[in-house]
Amino acid sequence: MKRRVAITGIGFITPLGSDKKLFWEASCQGKNAVGKITAFDATGFPSRVAGEVKDFDPSKYLSLKDIKRTDRFVQFAMAASRAAIEDTGLNLSAVNKDRFGVIIGSGIGGIHIIESEHKILLEKGVDRLSPFFIPMLIVNMASGKVSMDLGLKGPNTCVATACATGTHAIGDAFKIIQRNDADFMICGGTEAAISPLAFGGFCAARSLSARNDDPEHASRPFDKQRDGFVMGEGSGVVVLEELEHAKSRNAHIYAEIIGYGMTADAYHMTAPDPEGKGATLCMKNCLKDAGVALTEVNYINAHGTSTVLNDKIETKAIKDTFGEYAYKIPISSTKSMMGHLLGAAGGIEAIVTALVIDNGIIPPTINYEFKDPECDLDYVPNKARKADVKIALSNSLGFGGHNCTIALRKV
């Protein structure tokens, strides 16, 4: 029999903050965390707005040695993981660490160290490169350092599927516990890519919003005047635990993970399939895996990037999946408040989805002002809504045509 899996801990570093209570209040109030870039001088860049983490002090979580030997994306993951473990109430010394694994992915990895070491190579030569350059940039180091920091020796890997990374990591971890290869998993995503090179690359791809004079309204998923996504940064991880074990210790269970779907568009490097067939199949596969009917779904946390194509095609995919019932499902986009956290987005959005189930409140899609006839569903515009959500989906769609959906249920 497949084992059941609960979310018993959450941890995050986001532009909206890292305190659980304050983050949830800000989310429900529709607070905006997008502003003009301060991380570097963006003069001359077509886009100059981002969702930055401005209050992060790595010394609160890491030793000085670890700070010097890790890129910002790894530091985010280590901080979020410690918070998630603390949130579970688990005593790590009392659990079997051979049965406790880690899957934390990143879409881009250590771009800051790549930029700084490349400058050193050009200006000072190869002899001046850091011996930690490669370990600091590789994507798997978030999972590696978290396992080292916490002494976790179970399944350990990473995912790199662009904007679907965090959701894939959680789905993969769910399956590992379900098939009895581990009892606990820390999983999710992390990203710190607000740098001149990465930001400039997205500008060159014409992916980003150019609403530079009005940054607070730049991220506007499903709104007719959307003009691109807003880059964000941060980390979102959850602790998954075998359900009966969680119940036996009276753990707080945010939600149960009950389904996981993943597909490929097999269409284009950056653009989604215009028919939305990959995203549709992904949601259908997830619901089949969960064993629930279409009409049992009470909420969808959309990928909702604020790009012209994504929002239109995700809307079409939801309608193709649910038919007329799609118009009865509340849908919201977390990215409207903090931007698109790339590889970390799915982790944060899984956390928000679990908090929706746990608290009975759906955060809004802010900046929704002008209706798009091609985006005609219930996006919970601008104001949070009370709702008894029993079953919810969280969607992630990534460059490369990667589609991923997880299903959560109230326990």
Q: Which residues contact 311 (CB under 8 A, 6 or more apart)?
A: 221, 222, 226, 304, 305, 372, 375
Give pLDDT, residue 129.
Answer: 97
Chain segment 229-239, per-residue pLDDT in tens: 999 999 999 99
**Topology adopted by domain 259-409:** Peroxisomal Thiolase; Chain A, domain 1 (3.40.47)
C-alpha to C-alpha distance for 170 and 235, rounded to whole angstroms: 13
Find out whether 361 and 386 touch, Cβ atoms under 8 Å: yes
**Lookup result for tokens 């084992």:** 3
C-alpha to C-alpha distance for 359 and 276, rounded to whole angstroms: 32
Chain segment 89-125, per-residue pLDDT in tens: 999 999 999 999 999 999 999 999 999 999 999 999 9
Residues marked active site are found at 163, 303, 340
Find out whether 294 and 322 touch, Cβ atoms under 8 Å: yes
- Give the 3-state secondary structure of residue 193: coil
The DSSP output letter for 155 is -
Is-same-fold flag (5-248; 259-409)? yes
Find out whether 254 and 355 touch, Cβ atoms under 8 Å: yes
C-alpha to C-alpha distance for 168 and 263, rounded to whole angstroms: 11
Strand pairing class (35-36; 49-51): antiparallel
**Lookup result for tokens 């007719």:** 224
Residue 195 token pair: 């740098």
Find out whether 240 and 181 touch, Cβ atoms under 8 Å: no
Neighbours of 38 (CB within 10 A): 11
Neighbours of 148 (CB within 10 A): 14
C-alpha to C-alpha distance for 128 and 143, rounded to whole angstroms: 28
Low-confidence ranges of the chain (pLDDT < 70): none
C-alpha to C-alpha distance for 209 and 392, rounded to whole angstroms: 29
Concatenated DSSP letters for 239-267? Answer: EEEEHHHHHHTT----EEEEEEEEEE--S
Residue ranges of domains in the chain: 5-248, 259-409
Q: How far is CA 37 from CA 201, 205, 313, in A?
A: 16, 19, 29
Find out whether 395 and 382 touch, Cβ atoms under 8 Å: no
Find out whether 370 and 384 touch, Cβ atoms under 8 Å: no
C-alpha to C-alpha distance for 254 and 165, rounded to whole angstroms: 21
Give pLDDT, residue 55.
Answer: 86
Helix (H) or strand (E) holding 312: helix 308-322
Pick the CATH number of 5-248 from 3.30.470.20, 3.40.50.2000, 3.40.47.10, 3.20.20.370: 3.40.47.10
C-alpha to C-alpha distance for 268 and 18, rounded to whole angstroms: 35
Find out whether 256 and 290 touch, Cβ atoms under 8 Å: no
**Lookup result for tokens 């194509």:** 309
Q: How far is CA 390 from CA 191, 360, 361, 410, 411, in A?
A: 30, 9, 12, 5, 8
Residue 102 token pair: 């880690």
Q: Which residues contact 324 (CB under 8 A, 6 or more apart)?
A: none
- Give the 3-state secondary structure of residue 3: coil
Q: Which residues contact 387 (CB under 8 A, 6 or more apart)?
A: 298, 299, 330, 356, 360, 361, 362
Give pLDDT, residue 1.
Answer: 78
- Give the 3-state secondary structure of residue 247: helix
